[in-house]
């Protein structure tokens, strides 16, 4: 394809050379991608969940074709949106009414030039069609992307996304759904390559940054049901729509596409976005909130609505134009002296995803206050500094690590916490991880360095042995050596990992050996763990006080631990009335609460230990105690089961 006049008009010869030399933008949604796979030092885990549902074969379930197939079976069982034309037809695009378009450069998020059209129908349903344009290969944002969108340059059109806010197959409460279509055939795709790091499964590649959940599939391949969702439908995973932030956009200089021309349409799109958020009782309704349904305590509270309203001068959106600069700062960020951290780092690197998360029961993850943010210091260190899987989008990740003001504010913050070690280092260095401290019954426990990061060599050392006892390693350099001890007691080993000439910081593992332990962790099965959650443990039924149908009358969690008909009626699956199969379904759901890539971060362990848990610290789960202590007996038992692979 010849270069169009828009490219020929570029004044810089180097830019012209780039445009003529680059190959196609390369499969932003197409399975025939030719895009580069080069990226930063971090892992290839962008746009995936921190818990990607790692399976026994090391595959990631949320990134599997089956995940996308289950999703579309749930939200479009009659296959009425398998092409872009069908999607537009179902949502009445092109039929008049409230339909507006803009073309902008998405320079903060994915780097595309985007031609966006939003539509609101008489029944309250809302849909967006977004054509994405990328000039050359993936990399830092270039203004050429927005110009390609303005010119509708087919060569640089890498895919089209569809977002729909409408009732599901059961025709109940509206919820948000995601589609992506091939730029040439316009067929619906089950994968999308949004950043040049390879194709990833739908809807994960979208919902990971749109507030959705990545729960595991059912044993029969159905998409998971979020048990506290208002719609009650599979496919409703609590995802939301993003606000349109003009202060973060790049605009064309071509007549008709400047910011001043597009502002009115951007405001109309933000009104549509506002309509997709539920409105909590605590929020004062304004002029444009009549389209919002009341929020329940157990769902997202429409947190991002405050940001939209701030952009236009307050509750009734009195300003015709949005603010020129992004000055929104919620909660206690300013009063606690953390305003620069928020405006420089959180606004640029965190807010776009985190503001769409949380529920009325537990909202800390939305980072709407510094106090909430500070409560995640340990996970911020783990994800940003060690694991390198946040910021979640590659473009934002690259900008974070190449913009000193952004990363230095995070380093300064972490330096004042208990997680200051290595806070100034970029991900990609070896990180030793021997797993959580534990209690075992055997005198020959197996160790594992499998969760270590960016590591190819291992060095184990016994550093502490009870008086008069001995401890030997079967190998000091193996990934999973056996530790042989002479008697019960508390032993410590140290792990240092390496990659080339770089070595990790040493990490100590405490192993409490108790040959009189009442159970053998290697023999624990799902039935033992189910007993803790339902009737056993230190307080009978302490988990099922909330994790059941109806919750405790106020709080209803997203997963239930009581015996229910898990494979029952939902328009797709058949009734089976609490058959023995329900235990298998429960087991599959519960495994989804385990993070096999970072065991200590597993919600099954972390939540009842008091970390961002509406029920606070649960008896038997005090992980701050020494392994084997009575106050963490249930934690130890569940941990032992997980370390043994969580067998059914």
Residues 361-387 as b/e (b if ≥16 CB within 10 A, e otherwise) read bbbbbbbbbbebbbbbbebbbbbbbbb
CATH of the domain at 485: 2.60.40.10
Residue 581's pLDDT is what? 85
CB 457 within 8 A of CB 477: yes
| Pair (31, 78) in one structural domain | yes
Domain-located, residue 303: no
Residue 579's pLDDT is what? 52
Domain-located, residue 195: yes
SS3 content of the chain, % helix, strand, coil (to 5): 25, 15, 60
Residue 131 neighbours by CB under 8 Å, 6+ apart: 114, 115, 116, 149, 152, 157, 160
Smallest CA-to-CA distance from 193 within 207, 206, 211 is with: 206
Boundary (domain end) residue, out of 470, 493, 513:
513
Q: What is the mean pLDDT of each run of 10 residues along the chain (648 residues)?
A: 36 30 30 30 76 95 97 98 98 97 95 98 98 92 97 97 97 98 98 92 97 96 94 96 97 96 98 98 96 97 98 97 94 97 97 97 97 98 95 93 95 96 93 98 98 97 98 98 98 97 97 97 96 80 91 94 78 47 93 97 97 93 97 97 97
Domain-located, residue 392: yes
Domain-located, residue 605: yes
DSSP letters, 513-573, are E-TT-SS-GGG--HHHHHHHHHT-SSSTTTTTTTSSTTTTSS---SS--S---TT--SSSS
| Pair (532, 505) in one structural domain | no
Residue 267's pLDDT is what? 98
| Pair (494, 526) in one structural domain | no
Residue 566's pLDDT is what? 86
| Pair (590, 484) in one structural domain | no
CB 246 within 8 A of CB 266: yes
Residues 631-641 as b/e (b if ≥16 CB within 10 A, e otherwise) read bbbbbbbbbbb
Spatial distance between the Cα atoms of 402 and 141, rounded to a whole number of angstroms: 14
Output the pTM of the full model. 0.91
Boundary (domain end) residue, out of 457, 478, 513:
513
| Pair (81, 126) in one structural domain | yes
Domain-located, residue 585: yes
Number of domains in the chain: 4
Residue 423 neighbours by CB under 8 Å, 6+ apart: 381, 385, 410, 411, 414, 415
Residue 28's pLDDT is what? 36
CA distances from 356 to 208, 213, 360 (A): 10, 11, 12
| Pair (404, 466) in one structural domain | no
Residue 101's pLDDT is what? 98
Boundary (domain end) residue, out of 513, 533, 554:
513
The phi-psi region of residue 243 (left if phi > 0; otherwise alpha if psi is between -120 and 50; otherwise beta) is beta
- How many Cα atoms within 13 Å fall on the side-chain side of residue 581? 13
Domain-located, residue 571: yes
| Pair (491, 621) in one structural domain | no
Residue 405 neighbours by CB under 8 Å, 6+ apart: 344
| Pair (374, 476) in one structural domain | no
Peptide bond into 203 cis (omega under 30): yes
| Pair (58, 172) in one structural domain | yes
- H or E element at residue 302: none
Spatial distance between the Cα atoms of 545 and 191, rounded to a whole number of angstroms: 40
Range of the domain at 617: 521-643
Domain-located, residue 268: no
| Pair (396, 490) in one structural domain | no
Peptide bond into 629 cis (omega under 30): no
| Pair (204, 337) in one structural domain | no
Phi, psi angle pair for 369, to nearest 5°: -145, 155
Domain-located, residue 220: yes
| Pair (37, 77) in one structural domain | yes
Residue 540's pLDDT is what? 72
């Amino acid at each position: 394809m010849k270069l169009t006049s828009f490219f020929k008009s570029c004044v810089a010869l180097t830019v012209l050379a780039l445009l003529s030399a680059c190959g196609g933008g390369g499969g932003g949604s197409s399975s025939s991608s030719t895009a580069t796979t080069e990226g930063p030092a971090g892992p290839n885990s962008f746009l995936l969940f921190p818990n990607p549902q790692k399976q026994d074969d090391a595959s990631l379930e949320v990134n599997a074709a089956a995940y996308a197939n289950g999703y579309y079976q749930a939200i479009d069982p009659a296959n009425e949106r398998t092409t872009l034309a069908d999607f537009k037809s179902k949502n009445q695009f092109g039929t008049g009414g409230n339909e507006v378009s803009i073309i902008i450069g998405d320079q903060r998020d994915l780097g595309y030039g985007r031609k966006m059209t939003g539509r609101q129908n008489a029944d309250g349903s809302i849909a967006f069609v977004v054509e994405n344009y990328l000039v050359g290969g993936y990399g830092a944002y270039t203004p050429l992307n927005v110009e390609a969108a303005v010119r509708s340059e087919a060569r640089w059109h890498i895919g089209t996304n569809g977002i729909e806010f409408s009732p599901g197959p059961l025709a109940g409460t509206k919820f948000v759904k995601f589609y992506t279509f091939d730029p040439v055939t316009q067929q619906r795709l089950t994968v999308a390559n949004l950043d040049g790091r390879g194709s990833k499964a739908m809807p994960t590649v979208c919902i990971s940054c749109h507030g959705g959940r990545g729960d595991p599939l059912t044993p029969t391949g159905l998409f998971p049901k979020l048990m506290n969702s208002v719609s009650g439908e599979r496919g409703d995973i609590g995802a939301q729509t993003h606000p349109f932030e003009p202060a973060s956009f790049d605009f064309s200089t071509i007549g008709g596409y400047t910011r001043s021309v597009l502002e009115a349409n951007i405001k109309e799109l933000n009104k549509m976005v506002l309509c997709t958020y539920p409105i909590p009782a605590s929020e004062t309704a304004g002029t444009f909130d009549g389209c919002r349904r009341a929020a329940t305590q157990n769902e997202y509270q429409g947190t991002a609505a405050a940001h939209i309203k701030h952009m236009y001068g307050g509750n009734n959106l009195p300003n015709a134009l949005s603010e020129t600069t992004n000055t929104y700062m919620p909660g206690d960020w300013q009063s606690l002296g953390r305003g620069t951290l928020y405006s420089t780092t959180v606004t640029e690197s965190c807010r776009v995803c985190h503001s769409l998360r949380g529920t009325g029961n537990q909202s800390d993850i939305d980072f709407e206050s510094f106090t909430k943010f500070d409560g995640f210091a340990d996970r911020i260190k783990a994800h940003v500094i060690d694991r390198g899987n946040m910021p979640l989008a590659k473009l934002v990740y690259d900008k974070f690590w190449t913009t000193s003001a952004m990363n230095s504010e995070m380093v300064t913050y972490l330096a004042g916490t208990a997680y200051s070690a290595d806070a100034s280092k970029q991900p990609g260095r070896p990180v030793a991880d021997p797993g959580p401290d534990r209690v075992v019954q055997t005198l020959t426990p197996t160790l594992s360095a499998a969760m270590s990061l960016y590591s190819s060599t291992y060095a184990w050392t016994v550093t502490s042995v009870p008086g008069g006892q001995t401890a030997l390693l079967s190998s000091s350099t193996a990934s999973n050596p056996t530790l042989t001890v002479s008697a019960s007691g508390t032993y410590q080993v140290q792990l240092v990992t390496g990659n080339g000439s770089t070595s990790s910081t040493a990490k100590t593992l405490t192993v409490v050996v108790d040959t009189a332990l009442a159970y053998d962790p290697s023999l624990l099965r799902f039935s033992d763990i189910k007993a803790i959650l339902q009737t056993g443990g230190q307080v009978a039924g302490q988990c099922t006080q909330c994790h059941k149908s109806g919750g405790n009358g106020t709080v209803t969690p997203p997963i239930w631990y009581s015996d229910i008909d898990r494979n029952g009626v939902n328009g797709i699956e058949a009734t089976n009335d609490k058959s023995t199969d329900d235990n298998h379904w429960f087991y599959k759901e519960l495994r989804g609460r385990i993070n096999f890539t970072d065991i200590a971060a597993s919600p099954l362990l972390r939540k009842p230990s008091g970390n961002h848990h509406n029920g606070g610290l649960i008896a038997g789960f005090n992980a701050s105690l020494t392994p084997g202590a009575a106050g963490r007996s249930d934690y130890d038992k569940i941990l032992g089961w997980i370390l043994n692979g969580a067998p059914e």
